[in-house]
């Protein structure tokens, strides 16, 4: 399964509501996770099984979707959310999307 993330680059202001998209080439059956990777760091798990928030992750992060289309939403952008975000499917094989780089205006 191939994953296409859009946009590849997103610029937003502190306080904005931000939506990142991930589209699969086949049905992912909700086996989709989201990772945050800050510059020079390892990825961090944010969301698993489409909408389950990992322990310790702020509630401003949420996930949704079904079938082939999934979304990560940040309800109110914080400056520390500057990072690249990857979606990842584990329904059929193990694949990552190409990432969305989130910049703070």
Partner 1 sequence: EVQLVESGGGLVQPGRSMKLSCAASGFTFNNYDMAWVCQAPKKGLEWVATISYDGSSTYYRDSVKGRFTISRDNAKSTLYLQMDSLRSEDTATYYCARHASPLYWYFDFWGPGTMVTVSS
Task: Look up residue 86 and give its two tokens.
Answer: 């990857």
Least distance (Å) between residue 82 CB and partner 1: 17
Least distance (Å) between residue 75 CB and partner 1: 23
List all residues 6 or more positions away from 51 whose beta carbon is below 8 Å from its beta carbon: 62, 63, 64, 65
- Does residue 86 bind partner 1 (CB under 8 A)? yes
Of 49 and 78, CB closest to partner 1: 49
Question: Which burial class, exposed, middle or buried, applies to 93 when counting CB atoms under 10 A from its CB (0-12, 13-18, 19+)?
Answer: exposed
Say how far residue 15 (Cα) sits from the centre of its chain.
18
Least distance (Å) between residue 67 CB and partner 1: 18
Letters for 26-55 (x = contact with partner 1 by CB under 8 A, - = none) are -----x-x-x-x---xxxxx--xx----x-
């Amino acid at each position: 399964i191939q994953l296409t993330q859009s946009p590849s680059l997103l610029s937003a202001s502190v306080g904005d509501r931000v939506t990142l998209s991930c589209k699969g080439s086949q049905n992912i059956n909700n086996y989709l996770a989201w990772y945050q990777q800050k510059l020079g760091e390892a990825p961090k798990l944010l969301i698993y099984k489409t909408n389950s928030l990992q322990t310790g992750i702020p509630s401003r992060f949420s996930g949704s979707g079904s079938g082939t289309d999934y979304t990560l939403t940040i309800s109110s952008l914080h400056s520390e959310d500057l990072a690249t975000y990857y979606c990842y499917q584990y329904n059929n094989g193990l694949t990552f999307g190409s990432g969305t780089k989130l910049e703070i205006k």
